[in-house]
Amino acid sequence: MSTPHGTARRPDALTLEVVELIGEVVARFHADYEEAAAEQALTGAQAKLLSLLSLEPLPMRKLANKLKCEPSNVTGIVDRLEARGLVERRPDPADRRVKVAAATEEGRRVARGLRESLRFAREPLAGLSEGERLALRDALRRMLGE
């Protein structure tokens, strides 16, 4: 039986082990991210949105796509972050009919603090040599098709 990615066959033991390890890395990263968000009195979704906006202002629809949720959910998250002074709405310079959400200076400071407090992302990687980190980065990029 054929699949879109080739023939259907069982993955080998090494592939299964790698998949399990990736799952464990993702679970630990999410737990650490939620803990870092809670230290800033944010939900995980609020922290993720704020992190995205600290990179660039984005329209609500793009935020919803990136967060894989409905635009109405994004509106509520932006409302709560705006009430805390972490996010503001502005007209889109490319189309003034569209509003974009943007991190305020305080929002960028909080987002930076979030990134710096992620122990899981920092501590295990520090134990790898630069060559190992480069190899890991390159393998992950290949897996993601980048």
Q: How many CA atoms lie within 13 A of 15 on its CB side?
A: 5
Q: Has residue 2 got a pLDDT over 50?
A: no
- Closest of 56, 57, 29, 33 to residue 46, by C-alpha: 33
Q: pTM for this structure?
A: 0.75
Q: Has residue 128 got a pLDDT over 80?
A: yes
| pLDDT tens for each residue of 88-108 | 999 988 888 888 999 999 999
Task: Name the β-bridge partners of 3.
Answer: 6
| pLDDT tens for each residue of 32-53 | 889 999 999 999 999 999 999 9
Residue 50, CA distances (Å) to 71, 73, 120, 127 in order = 15, 14, 20, 29
Angle, helix 13-39 to helix 105-116, in steps of 10 degrees: 130
